[in-house]
Amino acid sequence: MAGYLIGLMALAALASAFVGIWRARNKRDAAGGAKSHSRPIYHGLNAAIWTGVPAFVFILLWLLFQNSVIDALVIASFPGSDQLSGPQQDLLVSEIRQVASGNIFKEPSPEVLAAVDHLRSLESLATWAMVALVAALVALGAYFGFRAIEHRFRARHSVERSVTWFMMFSSLVAILTTAGIVASLVYEALQFFARVPVTEFLFGLRWEPQIAIRADQVAGQGAFGMIPVLFGTFVISALAMAVAVPTGILSAVYLTEYAGERFRAVVKPLLEILAGIPTIVYGFFAVLTVAPAVRSLGLAIGIDAAPNSALAAGGVMGVMLIPFISSLSDDAFAAVPRAMRDGSYALGATKGETIRKVLLPAALPGIVGGVLLALSRAVGETMIVVMAAGLIAKLTLNPFDSVTTVTVQIVTLLIGDSEFDNPKTLAAFALGLMLFIITLGLNLIALRTVRKYREKY
């Protein structure tokens, strides 16, 4: 419905643009060749903006708030709803909505059926009200837009002002996004900390979030200490960095210092492909090929490896990060001035010595920055570990054992139907807040390292 409405509104705006242009031409001709301020196209655009934009903004706002308002009205008219708690009301609303959309699992009670009728009537009322109000707004906007068309009217200024407003709003979206992330994470995490003490979350050594949602479920008692989860994250990230850092730096050294022009032109894009492969592909590959290989490797050397070992997930993640570290190290090497290299050769150093003793130290800040950025990616990487790492939080350093990570827990806690009313789902937001803080911190340190220790040549 809203889609058609927006389409019709766009058509109306287009029509008023043409009418506006035609009207502006008539006015210009009527003025008898006197110089006009704006070309007819701007009068048309101005009319179109007046016609379309207020109605469009109105539709967006209406759609955002329609469901919550209707839910509140339905709940308010439900007999005995004022005795229900917030979560129970949410459950009731979702039951009513399920019945209304035809998914009936058990025979609904007459009150629910009455509420469904109420919901349907409210929804059709809302739809008609929206159509009527949008039509009124379009008509009103078009009226003002056309009325403004005068020979001397500065339509171009008006249009340019609107465009500037749109551009300013667009650049605010970045701030709004960050604000939205922080606000949602902090809000839900505070709800979590109202149920589970902060100290337990930050310093607890047990993580068993699978608590009973319904009374008749068999489940754990629930423990929300994030230390083992965080520990698992760093075990896997460390394994990933152990693969990615030497490989990435050495391949950058080879590509910048040893490889010929043609070899570089072929190999560098091939390496970049590794960065373009979606992470879910790596995850599937880890499960399908790498994890069994690690398991048989473990058996061969006499270690009982878990089927979802940290080594498989970390190793594959490391390969994913190779091009990232390689290209950042590449940039760092390229930034070392030619004179330093020449000076080293002039003193009789071999190529290998020049690379190890001159280039690497000079490029080190850039490389360290790149490694920190890669680490922040490893900590936030989700799909590889969701598919290849374990679910049980363990405090272990054994790479053949299975560990879990922050992102795995976030996804497993929130996958499927989630109600925001128990510590299990809210815990995911607390973990998300930690993840956001850790990655933000790593990024800031990385940028600062690059900026502070970059030697000015």
Partner 1 sequence: MALSDGASTGSGGAVAWKSDVMAARGKARYAAGRRLQIYGMIAIAFALGFLAVLVGTLVYTGSNAFRQSMVTIEIDFSSAELDRENLMDSNWRNVFRDAVRDDIGELSRSDERDYFSMFTSSAPFLIRDRIMAEPSLLDGRATFMVPLSDPFDQLAKGLVNTDLPESQRRVSDRQIAFYQALERNGAISRPINWGLFFNSDSRFPELAGLAGAISGSFWLLLVCFLISFPAGIAAAIYLEEFAPKNRVTDLIEININNLAAVPSVVFGLLGLAVFLGWFGLPRSAPLVGGMVLALMTLPTIIIVTRAALTSVPSAIREAALGIGASKHEAIFHHILPLSMPSIMTGTIIGLAQALGETAPLLLIGMNAFITSPPAGVFEASTALPTQIYIWADSPERGFVARTSAAILVLLGFLIVMNGIAIFLRQRFERRW
Smallest separation (angstroms) from partner 1 to the CB of 188:
6
Which range binds partner 1 by CB under 8 A, 105-113, 182-190, 212-220, 448-456?
Answer: 182-190
Nearer to partner 1 (CB atom), residue 146 or residue 233: 233
Which range binds partner 1 by CB under 8 A, 203-211, 221-229, 338-346, 411-419?
Answer: 411-419
Smallest separation (angstroms) from partner 1 to the CB of 40:
15
Smallest separation (angstroms) from partner 1 to the CB of 424:
14
Smallest separation (angstroms) from partner 1 to the CB of 189:
10
Reported as type and span, the H/E element at residue 31 is none
d(CA 231, CA 401): 13
Q: Output the six-digit token pair for 9.
A: 């509104």
CA nearest to 79, candidates 63, 103, 96: 96
What phi and psi values does residue 230 have, to the nearest 5 degrees?
-65, -40
Reported as type and span, the H/E element at residue 223 is strand 223-224
CA nearest to 245, candidates 399, 371, 379, 356: 371
Please identify which residue in 215, 218, 270, 346 interacts with partner 1, judged by CB under 8 A: 270
Contact 318/247 with Cβ under 8 angstroms?
yes
Nearer to partner 1 (CB atom), residue 146 or residue 322: 322
156 binds partner 1 (CB under 8 A): yes
Contact 207/226 with Cβ under 8 angstroms?
yes
Nearer to partner 1 (CB atom), residue 382 or residue 396: 382
Q: Output the six-digit token pair for 213.
A: 């949602």
d(CA 142, CA 157): 18
CA nearest to 355, candidates 332, 373, 375: 332
What phi and psi values does residue 207 have, to the nearest 5 degrees?
-130, 100
- Applying the rule CB under 8 A, the residues between 40 and 69 that interact with partner 1 are 64-65, 67-68
Strand extents, DSSP E, 142-222: 207-208
- Beta-bridge partners for 418: none
170 binds partner 1 (CB under 8 A): yes
Which range binds partner 1 by CB under 8 A, 79-87, 207-215, 286-294, 336-344?
Answer: 286-294
131 binds partner 1 (CB under 8 A): no
Smallest separation (angstroms) from partner 1 to the CB of 104:
18
Instruction: Tell me which amino acid residue 128 is.
Output: W
Please identify which residue in 48, 49, 287, 306 interacts with partner 1, judged by CB under 8 A: 287
168 binds partner 1 (CB under 8 A): yes
- Applying the rule CB under 8 A, the residues between 364 and 403 that interact with partner 1 are 373, 376-377, 379-383, 386-387
Which range binds partner 1 by CB under 8 A, 105-113, 202-210, 217-225, 240-248?
Answer: 240-248
- Beta-bridge partners for 223: 208
191 binds partner 1 (CB under 8 A): no
Instruction: Tell me which amino acid residue 109 is.
Output: S
Nearer to partner 1 (CB atom), residue 127 or residue 398: 127
Smallest separation (angstroms) from partner 1 to the CB of 336:
16
